[in-house]
Structures are given as C-alpha cells and as structure tokens.
C-alpha cells in the first residue's frame, strides 16, 4: 500500500497568485457595407509552477501576453491581420516529470503574425 509522503511544501501547479486581462476594441463604419475594427489585449499570468513536483527547469516567471488585430468586414467576408504574443514572451504551456529521470516541456508559441479570411454563409 505504500509509504506516506509529506508533499505540503509543493505549490499547486498552474495556479499563479495573480492573473488579469485588459482588452479594448474600437469599431467604426467605413462605408455603408464596410466595417473596420481594431482590438488589443494584454493578459498577465503571474509566476507559477508547471509540473506536479515543482521542477525549477519548468517554472514560469510572470508573463505579459500581448495580442492585437486589425479587421475589416465587407458583406459576409472578414479579413483580419493579427499578431499574437507580440512581446515574444517565453514560457512553458505544459510540463511533466517522468519518474524522476527526465522532464518534458512544451514551449509557448513565439511571436506570431498572420492573415485570416473568414466567409459566412
């Protein structure tokens, strides 16, 4: 049945003391059938543990994730120019300790830009 272990010194994983989000959108009608808007978001995630055993190699410091987009909609077509993680924050999205032998972690996606076209029917 096993030996009891006191693990009360470990911090709960994925439980930062502070998180917050600030977002804004400005929308305007450009012409009768053309609408444009810009959005911006800042999301703060405080320092936190990623693994159950609090592996210091897979610990996240506080992070500011900044996203933004410029969008236009014409009839039922939307075109968006977007950027994610614009501050290029580094961190882990997941992490696992494997039987005390090694650890695995997947990094947060780096700064990303793109264009999205959406058609509704």
Please report whether residue 10 resides in a domain: no
Please report whether residue 13 resides in a domain: no
Residue 52: give the domain boundaries.
Answer: 19-119
> In this predicted structure, what is the pLDDT of residue 99?
80
Domain count, the chain: 1
Per-residue pLDDT tens digits for 84-118: 999 999 999 999 988 878 888 999 999 999 999 99
Q: How many CA atoms lie within 13 A of 85 on its CB side?
A: 12
Please report whether residue 1 resides in a domain: no
> In this predicted structure, what is the pLDDT of residue 101?
84
Please report whether residue 42 resides in a domain: yes
DSSP labels for the chain? -------TTSPPTT--S-EEEEEEEEEEEEETTEEEEEEEEEEEE--EE-STT--GGGEE--EEEEEEEEEEEETTEEEEEEEESTT----EEEEEEETTTEEEEEEPP--EEEEEEEE--
Please report whether residue 14 resides in a domain: no
Please report whether residue 96 resides in a domain: yes
Please report whether residue 55 resides in a domain: yes
Average pLDDT per run of 10 along the chain, which is 121 residues long?
89 95 98 96 97 90 98 96 97 88 91 98 92
Please report whether residue 48 resides in a domain: yes
């Amino acid at each position: 049945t096993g030996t009891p272990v006191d693990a009360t010194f470990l911090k709960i994983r994925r439980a930062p003391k502070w998180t917050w989000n600030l977002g804004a959108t400005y929308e305007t009608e450009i012409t009768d059938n053309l609408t444009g808007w810009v959005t911006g978001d800042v999301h703060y995630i405080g320092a936190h543990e990623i693994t159950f055993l609090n592996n210091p190699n897979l610990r996240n410091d506080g992070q500011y994730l900044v996203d933004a987009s410029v969008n236009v909609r014409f009839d039922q077509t939307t075109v968006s120019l977007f950027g994610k993680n614009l501050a290029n924050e580094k961190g882990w999205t997941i992490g696992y300790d494997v039987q005390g032998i090694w650890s695995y972690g997947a990094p947060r996606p780096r700064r990303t830009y793109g264009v999205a076209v959406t058609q509704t029917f």
